[in-house]
């Protein structure tokens, strides 16, 4: 049975997702996938013709996840690039240093093709904690709208 990637959740004034994965890499990919399903009502129409590569370093895994998602939000709402596919190329956890190399695939945003976007200002630390239950990692992410 395939593990679902995420669920939408209700949160007072904001919006959130609960993400599920078997690995940290998959957790990050599924979090981005869930976030873009919130942002773009026509998510399935996004082409993967443009590649964005980045590296991020942080002090812990939760901060790394928030920085990763917020970097993608910056690309979308400042540089007008919308993504549909995500690949964590490397995620290294050393004592006090967490590093990620990733690629995101998408295209330039086009309102006629993608529809209006729900603007997310940021992924937040509200209740954010990566947990493992049996063989599944989960994390709840609340986005500031």
For residues 47-62, b (16+ Cβ closer than 10 Å) or e, as one string?
eeeeebeeebebeebb
Q: How many residues does the chain have?
A: 145
CA dist 50 → 39, 53, 66, 68, 120 (Å): 18, 10, 23, 18, 22
pTM: 0.94
For 60-109, write each residue's pLDDT tens digit.
Answer: 999 999 999 999 999 999 999 999 999 999 999 888 899 999 999 999 99
Q: pLDDT-derived band of residue 135, with 50, 70 and 90 as boundaries?
A: very high
Q: Which domains does the chain have, with CATH numbers?
A: 25-122 (3.55.10.10)
pLDDT at 1 > cutoff 90:
no
- What is d(CA 89, CA 36) in angstroms, rounded to the nearest whole number? 19
Which residue has better confidence, 8 or 51?
A: 51
Query: Are residues 117 and 3 in contact, defined by beta-carbon separation less than 8 angstroms?
Result: no
pLDDT at 128: 95
CA dist 48 → 51, 81, 90, 130 (Å): 7, 11, 20, 29
């Amino acid at each position: 049975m395939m593990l679902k990637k995420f669920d939408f959740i209700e949160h007072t004034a904001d919006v959130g997702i609960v993400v599920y994965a078997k690995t940290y890499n998959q957790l990050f990919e599924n979090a981005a996938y869930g976030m873009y399903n919130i942002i773009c009502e026509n998510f399935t129409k996004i082409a993967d013709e443009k590649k964005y590569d980045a590296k991020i370093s942080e002090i812990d895994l939760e901060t790394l996840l928030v920085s990763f998602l917020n970097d993608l939000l910056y690309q979308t709402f400042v540089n007008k690039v919308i993504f549909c596919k995500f690949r964590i190329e490397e995620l290294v956890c050393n004592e006090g240093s967490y590093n990620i190399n990733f690629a995101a695939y998408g295209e330039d945003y086009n309102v006629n093709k993608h529809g209006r976007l729900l603007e997310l200002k940021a992924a937040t630390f509200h209740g954010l904690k990566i947990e493992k239950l049996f063989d599944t990692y989960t994390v709840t992410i609340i986005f500031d709208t």
